[in-house]
Structure 1
Amino acid sequence: MSEAVVARAYGGPEVLAVTDADVPQPGPGQVRIEVRAVGVNPVDHKLYSGAFGADPAKLPMRLGSEAAGVVTAVGAGASGPAGPVEVGDEVIAYRAPGAYATELLVPASSVVPKPAGLSWEQAGGLMVAGVTAVHVLEAIGLGGKETVLVHGAAGGVGLFAVQLAVARGATVLGTASPAKHDVLRGLGAVPVAYGPGLADRVRAAAPEGVHAAADLVGTDEAVDVSLELVADRSRIATIAAFERGAGAGIKRLGGGPGADPGTEIRAAARLQLTEAAQAGRLHVEIAAGYPLREAAAAHRRIMTGRTTGKIVLIP
């Protein structure tokens, strides 16, 4: 019998519990996976916090959408974006609803090969933040020889956005606390401390101006400074400040109210990300790993908003 983490009610991490979960044999086009690592993302908490609504019919709620593991069974015609999927394959699953589990049943179309150079923890934390970063950079139309301001550059999405933007040839200014500046420098970004005076510090670091901005934290500061420094509002995107973004006329991305989910862009990004990771062009920074049964502790950690990189669960 498999185990899965569920939210028994709407609220904080205290509502999370581990329960038994039956995982049937895969049908046509499906695969079953023995999970080795699961990515934890801020949206996981938002779903059961009530931020997106509190429909009691959705309880108990399974959590998670990305995982890495080994294929243990396949249905007829099981084929993913990279081709046929077979028993024993090491894979990453995204989208994988209910990924906080020891076993998963997912469509083969959700499965891509795990890069051999990634640990299980890194593989489990690659996709959600990675495809979000790709979506953001596409939405703001970032090209080479441009300057982009990335708010929350040392977070899960931010570290990917920095690396991908640098790879495009852009100059990246990344906001973070001073303790994280060396990490950003190591990835090729110009770190800038957030807080009062941020706009002036960005101007000093980029005297020729900023072409685009990505808000990955959702603070008023991030939105205000982006609006002040970027002339074209269509080149500002947020993945968190949905209400402010709507009022300011900037792009809202992801699963929030009125946001563009970028379904096709994110699906196409999966193989781009695994190829870049396999080639060593994309590093997955792991902030911490927790046992599956300590999902509540992992959520308390991610809710602080101060992690550098990804948090993962280990079944």
Structure 2
Amino acid sequence: MPLNEPTTTSRAVQFESFGGPERLRLREVAVPQAGPGQIRVRVAAAGLNPMDWFMTSDPETAARFGLRLPCGFGTDYAGTVDQVGAGVEGFAVGDRVFGGVLSRAVADHVLVDVAGTIAAGGEAYHTPDGVDDRTAATLTIAGCTAAAAVAVVKPGPGDTVLIGGAGGGVGVFAVQLARRAGARVIGTGSAASAEALRALGAEPVTYGEGLVERVRALAPEGVTAALDLHGTDTVHAARALGVPDHRITTIATQIDGITPANGANGTSALGEIATLIAEGHLRVPIAATFPVDQIRPAVELQAARHVHGKVVIDL
């Protein structure tokens, strides 16, 4: 049974046509009902990621991800189970959960197949005590991607890791995971992000022309691994600094000789990441929160790629 009195309508952010934030609409929709093998989650918060607006930026890209109109928006969610379908084990009404549902998270209610994947049916994990819903809503895509990127280069004590885009949504996890593995971390960002990067445990260096020289000045003994979390500039800098290709990874592009990180390989780390947050060993900077009716400015802020941390929608 639902936690609250049943309602017949619910809010969901949707596209009627694919494009930029100006195409997003907050709609009244029918409340979905959990079928066999499904749970229904009353969403409290949804975290934004670059993939959200990239996937829905035009019809051709949307088709590559299997998205059709009318289409929802957002993937990371956190909230409370309020309905359980037949045959579901491990989840009960009232459980706090977080996870990912491809391009439909920014809604009052989402259905999740408990045996599904983010791309097919969704995923749900129990939210540990000590982790609030806003924080839990930032974990799935960024946490999985960061864990996968760190796993590619396998940092450890004695390593100096260069992380490009260290202050972004994935970067804030990657910096801390690399530091927990014992590595020294040099993180690229704007001059304004320097203090935020230091707070995460990284030594800041400004990106742009002259990056190689600035990194050499910080680490004259050399750099041993690199994560490019934005484009290709960090890859080129790492190669110029003598980092071998097998210890370089990317998340936003593919380069011959470089192993890209696959976030699907990082899902096993989500429980550990959530536990580290609950125990105070890992922190998630939340750059801004917006009510759901302010979805457009929230997406515009996140898409500008200048925020230090995560952007979250409250529902």
Q: What TM-score do you get using the length of structure 2 for normalisation?
A: 0.89
Corresponding residue number in structure 2 for 1:257: none
Q: Structure 2: any 5+ residue segments left out of the alignment?
A: 1-8, 116-122
By how many angstroms is 1:141 displaced? Answer: 2.4
Structure 1 residue 186 displacement after superposition: 1.9
Correspondence list, 1:63-74, <5 A? 63-74=73-84
Aligned residues of 2:288 and 2:311 also touching (Cα < 8 A): yes
What is the aligned counterpart of 1:8 among 16, 19, 25? 16
1:1-315 matched pairs, under 5 angstroms: 1-50=9-58, 53=61, 55=63, 58-79=68-89, 84-95=90-101, 97-109=103-115, 110-218=123-231, 220-240=232-252, 242=253, 245-246=254-255, 248-253=256-261, 261-263=262-264, 265-315=265-315
Contact in 2 for aligned 1:94/1:127 (Cα 8 Å): yes
Q: Is the 8 A contact 2:12 2:107 kept in 1?
A: yes
Q: SS of 2:56's equivalent?
A: helix
Q: Is the 8 A contact 2:147 2:269 kept in 1?
A: yes
2:144/2:263 contact within 8 Å kept: no
Q: C-alpha separation between the residues in 1 aligned to 2:274 and 2:29?
A: 30
Is 172-181 or 50-59 further displaced after alignment? 50-59
TM-aligned CA deviation for residue 51 of structure 1? 8.7
How far is 1:177 from its partner?
A: 1.4
State the identity %. Answer: 40
Query: Distance in 2 between the 1:7 and 1:211 partners?
Result: 44
Distance 1:51 1:207, change over 3 A: farther
In structure 2, what is the equivalent of residue 256 of structure 1? none
Superposition deviation, residue 78 in structure 1: 2.2
- Segments of 5+ residues of structure 1 without an aligned counterpart are 254-260
> Structure 1 pair 262/178, CA: closer, same or farther in 2 (3 Å)?
closer
2 CA distance for matches of 1:103 and 1:301?
A: 24
Q: 1:266 to 1:57 in 2, by over 3 A?
A: closer
> How far is the alpha carbon of 1:229 from its aligned partner?
1.9
- Secondary structure of the 2:272 match is helix
Q: Counterpart of 2:82 in 1: which secondary structure? A: strand
Shift of the 251–296 alpha-carbon distance from structure 1 to 2, 3 Å rule, reads: same
> Is the 2:71–2:103 Cα contact (8 Å) retained in structure 1?
no
1:204-229 Cα deviation digits (max 9, x unpaired)? 111221111111111x4323212212
Asked whether the equivalents of residues 96 and 106 of structure 1 are also in contact (C-alpha less than 8 Å), the reply is no
With normalisation by structure 1, the TM-score equals 0.89
Question: Deviations 1:115-161 (Å, cap 9, x if unpaired)?
Answer: 32222211111221111100100112223321110001111111111
Q: Is the 8 A contact 1:287 1:309 kept in 2?
A: yes
C-alpha change, 1:273 and 1:74, in structure 2 (3 Å) is same
Superimposed CA distance per residue, residues 186-239 of structure 1 (whole angstroms, 9 cap, x where no aligned partner):
222111111221101111111221111111111x43232122124311221111
Distance 1:207 1:51, change over 3 A: farther
Maintained 8 Å contact 2:249/2:258: yes
Give, as a single letter, the amino acid of the residue that structure 1 aligns with 2:154: G
Q: Give yes or no for contact 1:68–1:91 (8 Å, CA) kept in 2.
A: yes
Please report how far the alpha carbon of residue 313 of structure 1 lies from its aligned counterpart in structure 2 after TM superposition.
0.6
The 1:23/1:139 distance shift into structure 2, 3 A limit, reads farther
Shift of 1:10: 2.5
Pick closer, same or farther for the CA change 1:57–1:133 going to 2, 3 Å: closer
Deviation, structure 1 residue 19:
1.9
| Distance change (3 Å), C-alpha of 1:99 and 1:141 | same
State the distance in 2 between where 1:123 and 1:112 align. 10
Structure 1 residue matching 2:313: 3-state secondary structure:
strand
Q: Which range moves more in the overlay, 122-131 or 146-155?
A: 122-131
Question: What is the alpha-carbon distance in structure 1 between the residues aligned to residue 179 and residue 138 of structure 2?
Answer: 21
Q: Which residue of 1 aligns with 2:6?
A: none
CA contact (8 A) 2:32 2:109 kept: no
